[in-house]
Amino acid sequence: MRITSALVDPALLDLPWSTPLEEWPAEHLVALPQGISRHIVRFVRMGGYVYAVKETGERVAEREYDLLRALERIDFPAVEAVAIVADRHAPDGQPLDPVLITRHLQFSLPYRALFSHTLRPETLERLLDALAALIVRMHLTGFFWGDCSLSNTLFRRDAGAFAAYLVDAETGVLRNSLSNGQRGEDLEIARVNIFGEALDLQAAGLLHESIDPEMVCEEVVQRYERLWHEVTYEQQVERDARHDIERRIRRLNDMGFDVAEVSLATIDGGRYLIRPKVVDVGYHTRRLLRLTGLDAEENQARKLLNDLDAYRAESDLTDEQQAAHRWLTEVFEPVVRAVPAHLRRKLEPQELFTQIIEHKWLLSERAGRDVGMGPAVQSFLNDVLVHRPDEQAVLGVDVADV
């Protein structure tokens, strides 16, 4: 027996590798919902974690293991590859298929399992949004799945929404980028697979009568196309239309994407051509600290960086470090200093600035134009901040003592 493992766990050696996976005794198994698979799959518990064990060919296992490890390195939402166990033999010497071991995603279920029960309309909407977002993220990464289905996708709750995760990557290919034809082929495979599984559930009497299988697969495709367009299209804006850039970024945030930077080009007539670069959550605190030295929570950092990127776009600054320095000295610090001394204990500087950004956004929405930072600061101080309790009242101790 030969084990290739990213996890050094002696418990691996205690599993009955000389027995075909289909015949493993119940004492080693964990009963969990699973989708349809062309392979034998079992769930086992080792060291407090649950793992999925799949029998497959050796070359297929090695390829999928390497691909899942590559996706893990780029923080793509997929299950974690743990080990390959090859050169297995039965007691009579007969060779057994190698297995691929992946870590089960805690608190997750296959999409197929959820579609097998009564779904409320709003739950179905969020599930389809999450699945479309997963495919968009996948294609932005340059990953061709080739087997998207209700069985190969896990969902997990994510702050009131659903997050989707890739399970089976044996047909996948990771490239630098995908052509429109490759994206279209992958999307068509997903449409056919989802339609087929929904029909299968309907035939078994497991799909709620209000759910139309054709509607499900077409909705995923339509949501994907809308989201792909929003993420990738190049938008023309006027030179002074910073509010339009902010609106675009907010729409992407609402769809579950964060903006790392804004690509900007000048075109005829004094207009800008902008295209945002989107990234996954968990990135902004580090980037803000690197660029400005400001230490903020993730949501604060995202809003501060959105403002910095909009400032950089309208200032014609190509150098990121220079733009960050000027934004810090010309925008952030003047706003913080504009707060009278007797009001400064109400909010920490990063939170104060994010709330002023939000206030400016609301004022601009009402006015239908960018009202500017100066009027927004003055309005926030007079109409909002002055009525807030001091931070010491919330904490229960004096800030100076802290």
Side chain identity, residue 163: A
Given this model, what pLDDT does residue 258 score? 60
* Domain residue limits at 206: 108-231
Residue 66 lies in a domain: yes
pTM assigned to the model? 0.63
Asked whether residue 123 falls in the same domain as residue 80, the answer is no
Given this model, what pLDDT does residue 159 score? 39
The CATH number assigned to the domain holding 98 equals 3.30.200
Given this model, what pLDDT does residue 367 score? 87
Given this model, what pLDDT does residue 396 score? 44
Q: Which two tokens stand for residue 398?
A: 């004096």
Residue 67 lies in a domain: yes
CA–CA distance, 398 with 113 (Å, rounded to integer): 52
Helix (H, G, I), strand (E, B) or coil at 132: helix
Given this model, what pLDDT does residue 226 score? 85
Asked whether residue 84 falls in the same domain as residue 222, the answer is no
Residue 400 lies in a domain: no
Residue 94 lies in a domain: yes
Asked whether residue 211 falls in the same domain as residue 221, the answer is yes
Asked whether residue 121 falls in the same domain as residue 239, the answer is no
Per-residue tens of pLDDT for the chain, all 402 residues = 888 887 667 778 888 999 999 999 988 888 888 788 888 999 998 877 889 999 999 999 999 999 999 998 887 889 999 999 999 999 999 999 999 999 988 778 888 887 876 666 777 887 888 888 889 889 988 999 999 999 999 887 643 456 788 999 999 999 999 999 999 999 999 999 999 999 998 998 888 888 899 999 999 999 899 888 887 877 777 766 667 777 777 777 776 566 655 666 666 666 766 666 655 445 677 788 888 888 777 678 888 988 898 888 888 777 788 889 999 999 999 998 888 887 777 677 888 888 898 899 899 988 888 888 889 889 988 888 877 665 443 444 444 443
CA–CA distance, 8 with 204 (Å, rounded to integer): 42
CA distances from 339 to 311, 364, 401 (A): 21, 21, 22
Given this model, what pLDDT does residue 87 score? 93
Given this model, what pLDDT does residue 400 score? 47
Given this model, what pLDDT does residue 260 score? 58
Q: Which two tokens stand for residue 139?
A: 């294609």
203, 231, 259: which is the final residue of a domain?
Answer: 231
Nearest alpha-carbon partner for 103 in 195, 37, 32, 200 = 32
Asked whether residue 88 falls in the same domain as residue 112, the answer is no
214, 231, 248: which is the final residue of a domain?
Answer: 231
When divided into structural domains, the chain yields a total of: 3
CA distances from 93 to 19, 88, 96 (A): 11, 9, 9
Given this model, what pLDDT does residue 399 score? 40
Asked whether residue 311 falls in the same domain as residue 379, the answer is yes
CA–CA distance, 114 with 109 (Å, rounded to integer): 7
Asked whether residue 250 falls in the same domain as residue 390, the answer is yes
Asked whether residue 201 falls in the same domain as residue 261, the answer is no
Asked whether residue 284 falls in the same domain as residue 154, the answer is no
Residue 244 lies in a domain: yes
Residue 19 lies in a domain: yes
Q: Which two tokens stand for residue 119?
A: 């779904």
Asked whether residue 113 falls in the same domain as residue 262, the answer is no
Q: What tens digit of pLDDT does each residue of 366-387 get?
A: 888 888 888 988 998 888 887 7
Asked whether residue 249 falls in the same domain as residue 320, the answer is yes
Residue 402 lies in a domain: no
Radius of gyration of the chain (CA): 26
Asked whether 145 and 187 are in contact (CB, 8 A), the reply is: no
The 10 Å Cβ neighbour count of residue 378 is 11
Nearest alpha-carbon partner for 100 in 67, 69, 56, 59 = 56
52, 82, 103: which is the final residue of a domain?
Answer: 103
Asked whether residue 159 falls in the same domain as residue 247, the answer is no
Residue 303 lies in a domain: yes
Angle between helices 373-383 and 349-367 (to 10 degrees): 110
Given this model, what pLDDT does residue 322 score? 85
* Helix H or strand E segment including 311: helix 298-314
